[in-house]
Amino acid sequence: VTVTGALLTALLTCALLLLAFATLIVVKRLLSRRAERRALALTAPLRPALFSLLGADLLDDEATEALEVLAAVDAASWRALEPTVVSLLTKVRGDAAEALTGLLARRGTLARALEDCTRRDPVRRCRGAELLGATRARDGVPTLVRLLADRDPEVRAVAVRALGAVGDPAAAPHLLGALAGDRTVPPRLVAVALVRLCPGPEEVLVSALSDSSELVRGMAAEVLGLAGAVTARTGLVEAVSDPAVEVRVRAARALGRLGVPSALPVLLDALAPEQPTALRVAAAAALGQLGSPSAVPTLRAALDDPATEVARAAASALPALAAPGIAALREAAVPLPALRPPRRGLLRALDADSGGAEHAREVLALLDLRAGRFPDDAGVQEAA
């Protein structure tokens, strides 16, 4: 009897839970629908004012009036409107952005964001930092810099992105500093943020090329390249001889992006067979970007390299070296003797070590396509 009783009780509990869950879903749905309707009712009358603010090239009378309207709405309406204003902020520039930031400052949103950055809850700190970034207000920079050393990794990452969004070059040394130590941040985020700070922090970045940390040196090289900092060329040329491979790779890549002619000798050296593969790949690509025909012999030799990545990079680089580069590719791509099936001249899957001809043909075919010269695809049709 007791077993039966216990079982029946358990069954009853299940039934009650089922009922409770079903009710929960229904109530939740009803409540969120009501909340949506309310928010819509509160914000709908304010939308015209918001749009006239957005359309303003300069703050004309209409826009100023709209700003006043929005600044004066009651607390409940503002709560409903605020997320829209914040999300618009990330999509506009110039006067409209300034007008929106001004509005957020007047409504106390900025002050609240700064306050949020000091909360215990990491999510609040993240939100505060994100908002400071979205407003692009320089007043927030010290707070954001402080958050770079936050104990929560997510807060640190948001602070990095926010500093990039604000774009104050003064933050550069702090961003580089965040790469080292116990409380680190994803390097790619830092790189992107630093690029957004440029122009401005180039000097800091150039001196970072001789930092003691390999990560910082590599990052500085990468960012200088991405930011188009031609003034950094001397430092970057030197960095190709850095003791750390990763730094050398990034410096070579940066020199290619910047198209620094004086980098030719170091890049040719970097392509030499005794160098690490990653560096040789970067060097080959960079030589292509430099566009100097004097690199043709070295790249032509690299076409037959046993390392597929190097051969492919060399082949892809050659067309950029104008006529001599293309001539070298054509020479390398001489048709093979009878071991091809006669019906088709195109190559199939090949072994990695089968030489430069295949790489050359691949690149030439793509070159033809880009130039609008399509291969005779009769053979393909036939096969299909």
Which residues in this chain contact other proteins in the complex, by CB under 8 A?
3-4, 7-8, 10-11, 14-15, 17-18, 21-22, 24-26, 28-29, 32, 90, 123, 126-127, 129-130, 154, 157-158, 161, 164, 186-189, 191-192, 195, 222, 226, 308, 311-312, 346-352, 358-359, 361-362, 365-366, 369-370, 374-375, 377, 379-380, 383-384
Q: Which is nearer to other proteins, 55 or 186 (CB)?
A: 186
Amino acid letter for position 101: T
Classify residue 253 by burial, with Cβ atoms within 10 Å: 0-12, 13-18, 19+. buried
Q: Closest approach of Cβ 7 to other proteins, in Å?
A: 4
Q: Closest approach of Cβ 131 to other proteins, in Å?
A: 9
Q: Closest approach of Cβ 104 to other proteins, in Å?
A: 15
Q: Which is nearer to other proteins, 28 or 34 (CB)?
A: 28
CA distance 239 to 246: 10
Classify residue 88 by burial, with Cβ atoms within 10 Å: 0-12, 13-18, 19+. middle
CA distance 292 to 288: 8
Q: Which is nearer to other proteins, 52 or 361 (CB)?
A: 361
Which residue pairs from 209-217 have beta carbons closer than 8 angstroms and sit at least 24 positions apart in sequence?
A: 209/235, 209/236, 209/238, 209/239, 209/251, 210/235, 211/176, 213/179, 213/180, 214/244, 214/246, 214/247, 215/179, 215/180, 215/187, 216/176, 216/179, 216/180, 217/242, 217/244, 217/247
Triad 10, 14, 16: Cα angle to 5°: 115
Q: Which is nearer to other proteins, 58 or 335 (CB)?
A: 335
Q: Which is nearer to other proteins, 56 or 140 (CB)?
A: 140
Contact of 244 with 214, CB cutoff 8 Å: yes
Q: Which is nearer to other proteins, 56 or 114 (CB)?
A: 114
Q: Closest approach of Cβ 75 to other proteins, in Å?
A: 21
Distance of CA 249 to the CA centre of its chain: 19
Q: Closest approach of Cβ 60 to other proteins, in Å?
A: 30
Q: Closest approach of Cβ 368 to other proteins, in Å?
A: 9
Q: Which is nearer to other proteins, 25 or 76 (CB)?
A: 25
Q: Closest approach of Cβ 62 to other proteins, in Å?
A: 30
